[in-house]
Amino acid sequence: MAQMCRKWIKREKFVGFPKRENLEIVEESLPPLEDGEILLEAVYLSVDPYMRYGRVYNRKDKDRDDIGLEMPGTQIARVIQSKNPKYDVNDLVLAYSGWVTHSISNGEKGIHKVPVNGSLPPSTRLGIIGMPGATAYFGLLDICKPIKEGETLLVNAAAGAVGSAVGQIGKIKGMRVVGFAGSDEKVTYLKSLGFDAAYNYKTVPSLEAAIKESCPNGVDVFFDNVGGDFFGTVLPLMNKKGRVAICGAIAEYNRKEPLSQTCPINHLILRKQLNVRGFIILDWVDDWDKAFSNMIFWIQDGDLKYRETVFTGFDKMFDAFMSLFEGTNIGKIIVKI
Amino acid sequence: MAQMCRKWIKREKFVGFPKRENLEIVEESLPPLEDGEILLEAVYLSVDPYMRYGRVYNRKDKDRDDIGLEMPGTQIARVIQSKNPKYDVNDLVLAYSGWVTHSISNGEKGIHKVPVNGSLPPSTRLGIIGMPGATAYFGLLDICKPIKEGETLLVNAAAGAVGSAVGQIGKIKGMRVVGFAGSDEKVTYLKSLGFDAAYNYKTVPSLEAAIKESCPNGVDVFFDNVGGDFFGTVLPLMNKKGRVAICGAIAEYNRKEPLSQTCPINHLILRKQLNVRGFIILDWVDDWDKAFSNMIFWIQDGDLKYRETVFTGFDKMFDAFMSLFEGTNIGKIIVKI
């Protein structure tokens, strides 16, 4: 009997903020397994900001907005049928299958086994010990290279999956950590995580004044998830030889106008001898496990906390996705089937 | 008999382009030498774009525009009197003495001996085997890290002391090199140096079109001496994982308006995973000699050429300085006393 699969595909390009009607859920039947293949059933799906632009893993399509493409994404899936000796039924895997309920994999590319009884729940493989956690870890430690104890780290979208880990890893490394987030509840959360200062950027009278107040010695490291005006406000407040990791630009993903091509900010980059680097975390994929070993240790030690917000049901993928841009939730957003 | 000294000092802040009346030449008598000191007489003085902002070596004054400050700068000087056993009369030194005809040094800080009969003339210590040469060498090889043969390097102000060396070192390293400069004569010069393509940015109908034409595979490395709109035009044409060295921003040094604080370019830095870094070459000072050994070898081999434009007379310092911003000369600008 053929396995039915539901998937979210693009009907139209996103213009500005994604709209529900840009996507549709389609149903199709999967072909029978061939030798070496396994059949996967999604258990937890991830939503991440990169999906606004990203494309399905391993697709070489040039246009990320191609109509009919599945939405990209990772999921924790259960093996429900196996013709591959390396996988048993009920194994859990992390798979780059996109927004789909069922998928077929050859068990080799874009798939990793997840321990069924690991020290942390499987869903954490989508968050703190998954892509967002690795992003925080390598983005801070490798891109920003904290040099000496007591340097000041500024992070925005700080209550998100990446930002909250960035700030805590900064504290573990002895930095002074200042976070900006979009609600008073988030600010309370950040303070509970040990941030030295935290602000609601939506209600603060002046972003610049808040940064000056909380970073009296200037900003040494800026981990930017937001971009736009936030970026432009922080740059003049950076110290010499400051490091800027451009991890995300959530303020800009949904802009409709083309980007301006004039950027006098480069003069600031020169005078302050800044290093500004955009990165994607897949470049470090071979080192993720090493990072996760450290992070699991920190989690067990109580130095690194994480929170998950769970939506229930495959139909909720879009709502979960949009909550990233609406800033309504704390920590890692996942969808449970 | 007291040694008289002439020096250029700031009477007023520069606002926009420096004006002759912002500076004045004053005369003063130097005190007698104390034990350990040497008396220096300038032979060649350097003018460099950083002087628009820079301050005198080792001064900790916060305001670079302090009235009464000497103009900063390096010179090749002759020892004309010595109470320091390490220095003999007629020794040549490279000294960070500023725009002065005579100065006193303790022989330790900001001073380096220059061979009187080196393989290259002493003036090259201000250019190709001096600060500009080191800037080209480390800016390209250390900041931009050419990764694989055949990468495309774009450099502007390409006929200047730094740019011309950057392009040639790029060729030595197997890169495709495209240069932009401000006159047809400079373009001819760049082609004679082996640049794969060269343009007069002042007469090219479209900077963007010229870059696209000459960089059909995109830009991997951008060595930016200019900033401003040039920077904004190149960034969208960079390849993924491109490297940008912000070495100068000569288009911006003389701007009167404060810098804009909005820079959506950071989204490009993210999507293209660029590394954009501002640097000053003093950070590499311990490695300069190693670089110069290589560069002297390249010069003797004919792979690295340099040109000097010489102004004669201490009174010509300002004209020489302004020629940097007027773009009227090729290669390293020096003033000979």
For the segment B155-186, what is each residue's pLDDT rounded down to a tens digit? Answer: 999 999 999 999 999 999 999 999 999 999 99
Contacts of B225 in chain A (CB under 8 A): none
**Quick one: fold of A131-282?**
Rossmann fold (3.40.50)
Q: What angle do CA B174, B176, B178 make, to 5 degrees?
A: 140
Question: How much is the pLDDT for A54?
Answer: 57
Q: Which of B263, B272, B280 to mutate to probe the A interface, most A CBs <10 Å?
A: B263
| Strand A219-224 relative to strand A238-246, pairing | parallel
Entry field: residues in chain A: 337
Contacts of B3 (CB under 8 A, 6+ apart): B29, B30, B39, B81, B102
Question: How much is the pLDDT for B118?
Answer: 80
A276 to chain B, any CB pair closer than 8 A? The answer is yes
Average pLDDT per block of 10 residues along chain A, 337 residues long: 91 89 96 96 95 59 62 95 97 95 92 87 96 97 90 97 98 97 96 98 95 97 91 91 92 65 66 91 90 96 97 97 91 97
Lowest-confidence segment of A239-243, B112-116, B161-165, B317-321 by average pLDDT: B112-116
Lowest-confidence segment of A43-52, B115-124, B198-207 by average pLDDT: B115-124
Question: How much is the pLDDT for A264?
Answer: 56
Question: How much is the pLDDT for A19?
Answer: 94
Contacts of A264 in chain B (CB under 8 A): 227-228, 252, 255, 259-260, 263
Question: How much is the pLDDT for B180?
Answer: 98
Question: How much is the pLDDT for A65?
Answer: 55
Average pLDDT, chain B: 91
Question: How much is the pLDDT for B261?
Answer: 37
Domain extents for chain B?
Answer: 4-127+307-336, 131-282
CA–CA dist B135, B296 (Å, integer): 15
Burial A101-130 (b: 16+ CB within 10 A, else e): bbbbbebeeebeebeeeeebebbbbbbbbb
B291 to chain A, any CB pair closer than 8 A? The answer is no
Confidence of residue B258 (pLDDT cuts 50, 70, 90): low
3-state secondary structure of B6: strand
Q: Which of A162, A234, A263 to mutate to probe the B interface, most B CBs <10 Å?
A: A263
- Tell me phi and psi for residue B44, to 5 degrees: -130, 135
Q: Which of A252, A275, A276 sits opposite B267 (nearest CB)?
A: A252
B29 with B49: CB under 8 angstroms?
no
pLDDT of B112 strictly over 50: yes
Of A286, A251, A243, whose CA–CA distance to A134 is shortest? A286
CATH class, B4-127+307-336 region = alpha beta
Of A121, A141, A183, A123, whose CA–CA distance to A158 is shortest? A183
Give the chain B residue whose CA is nearest to the CA of A228: B264
B272 to chain A, any CB pair closer than 8 A? The answer is yes
CATH class, A4-123+308-336 region = alpha beta
3-state secondary structure of A71: coil
Question: How much is the pLDDT for B115?
Answer: 84
ipTM over 0.90: no
B139 with B223: CB under 8 angstroms?
yes
Question: How much is the pLDDT for B148?
Answer: 84
Confidence of residue B313 (pLDDT cuts 50, 70, 90): very high
Q: How many contacts, defined by CB atoms under 8 Å, are there between A and B?
A: 133
Q: Is the model more confident about A292 or about B52?
A: A292
